[in-house]
Every structure is written in C-alpha cells, then in structure tokens.
Amino acid sequence: MEPDPARVAELRTALVREIAASGVWRDDPAWRTAFEAVPRHLFVPYYYVGAGAGFERLWGEDPDAGRRARWLRGAYADTPLATRVRDGELLSSSSQPSLMAKMLAELEVREGKRVLEIGAGTGYNAALLAHRLGDARVTTVDLDPEITESARRHLAAAGHRPAVVTGDGAAGCPERAPYDRIIVTCTLTSVPRRWLAQCVPGARILAPLATGLIALTVREPGEDGHAEGRFLHTPAYFVPLRGAGVRAPQEPHLGGLPRGAVQNELFRFLLELTAGTLDPHEALALWEREGRPVRERFGVSVRGRYEWAWLDDPEGPYAWPL
C-alpha cells in the first residue's frame, strides 16, 4: 500500500529543510535538488529499530496503520537506519541523510564526472548521484548479492538504473573505469591500491577511515601510484569493508587510560588511527603534548606499497603505517 503522497512530500520537505539549515549545500545547491527529488522511503521498504536481540522491524506494508506511520516518519528522519541484520549483527544500513549530504558535497563532483561507489547499501546514495550525473556515469559495487539485488529494485522504483555490480569492493570495478571520484560507504583500515589504478589523475577518493572521513587526491594513478589528503572534521561510523585480503578493524586496548581521555571522541579517533602501531599510552602522551589535535590535522599518504597516517606533515616526525 502506497503512503499518502501529501504526507511523503511534507516529511521530505522537512528533512531537506533540516539538512539545508546546516549550510552543507551553500556552495553546491544542486545536491539540494537531488534530495528534494529522490524519495528515501522507496529505498527503505523495511528497516530495524533497537539493538541486538531487541531489534524491531518496521515496514511499509504493515497492516497496522500506526506502525506504517512510524515507518514513514523514520524513513524521513535524519538518522541512520539498520536495513540488514543477521544474528543481532548489523550488516548494512542506510546512512544518516545529513552525513550523506556532507559526503556528497565534499566529493566535489560536477556534471560530466564518473563516480564509483563502494558499498551499494539500499541504493539511495547511488540514486542521488544518478539524479545529479545521469545513470551512465554512476557505478555502485557491493559484495553481497542480496544487497545489490534489492538496491536494483529500489533504484528502478525511483526511476534510476545506474550500474549495480555484485563484486569485491576492495577490487573496485575495473571494467567501468576510469573514475573521477570514488566514494566509500564502509570503514577502511587501509586504501586498496587497485582503486588508484582505476582513477584519472586528480581524482578524489572520499572514505571513512578510523572514525573520520579521509579525502585523498590521486596525484599519480596506478597500483604503484601516489595519493594523499587530510581528514575532514566530520566524525563517521560505518560498517567495515568486506572483501578478499581486507583486514578487520583492530580494537585499541583501553586498559589503564584515564576515563576522560577514553570518552573523548577525538582521542578515540587517534586510537583507532594508530591501533596496532602505537601504544595507547604513547598515543595519549602525543595527544596531550600536541594540544589535543583535531581530525583536520591528520592525513594519509599512499605511495607505491607504502601507506601511512600522519600528524600535520606527511614527512614530519609523527607518522604511523596503516
């Protein structure tokens, strides 16, 4: 049963107004047009609220009118939505719309560019890209065939048919390369070299790493190429990238650290970034000594087979292999 179009329009308008109030579209209002045009509820016909064994499924075909109304309100709330859960573990989600808006704006994409998305999710992000760039210039990849199949259905229902590829996101999608932009909707522990080989010179890669968003510029394409960039100030939490040879995120050891530091979101970012390479107590001493640095002071460099994170300067004294 289709929701009331007037109610959908009301909720979508409210969501767009809320995102716009942050100023995210000030320099590129075309993204506002995309969010106004693409109906999010088509991409989340059901989702889960709660956590662990307490997950509750809300869906648009529920015979109970009150629960259908809750589903529709949630579909247009500025919150992430769990869309695939197995044995209490979150496998896939629809990201928070305001974070999606921020990432799309930071992608610095313009008409005529070709974009690869790693992590198809519900297909909503691909629809926003396709609305802006056209179906032919958008490719989205996911490892899970159930996810790609549902993304295709959602995209078709919204009137879009970008390339939806079932495959290892860590390998990119070489058959549709080269790309001007790569946007990643899952957390990395390192940057796959094969992505650099599929980029044009000057391409931009925007990806979650640790608990931040790294924006890399590809200076020299190729698996032995060179890419470099800094983190944005925005925090970001996504499910990990899955695929052949992908290392799972390493949990930092917190024993013996002051409670205040452990609860500080920026210090936790540093711990995640240096997990396995820097002792947590050394990380704390560095963080305090350097004036509790914000995310934007950190960056990542990839050069050939070497990849490292750094503070302030890629050739400076503070650097850690990834």
Active site amino acids? 92
Spatial distance between the Cα atoms of 20 and 288, rounded to a whole number of angstroms:
36
Contact 202, 217 (CB under 8 A): yes
- In 3D space, the residue among 144, 159, 32 whose CA is nearest the CA of residue 97 turns out to be 32
Q: What would the two tokens of residue 303 be? A: 């050069």
Q: Exposure of 202 by Cβ count < 10 A (0-12 exposed, 13-18 middle, 19+ buried)?
A: exposed
Residue indicated by tokens 């640790």: 210
Contact 78, 94 (CB under 8 A): no
38 in the Ramachandran plot: left (φ > 0), alpha (ψ -120 to 50) or beta? beta
Spatial distance between the Cα atoms of 31 and 283, rounded to a whole number of angstroms:
39
Distances (CA, A) of 216 to 213, 241, 249, 312: 10, 18, 20, 15
Spatial distance between the Cα atoms of 313 and 322, rounded to a whole number of angstroms:
16
Q: What would the two tokens of residue 273 be? A: 């970034």
Spatial distance between the Cα atoms of 42 and 247, rounded to a whole number of angstroms:
33
298-303 vs 46-49, strand pairing mode: unpaired
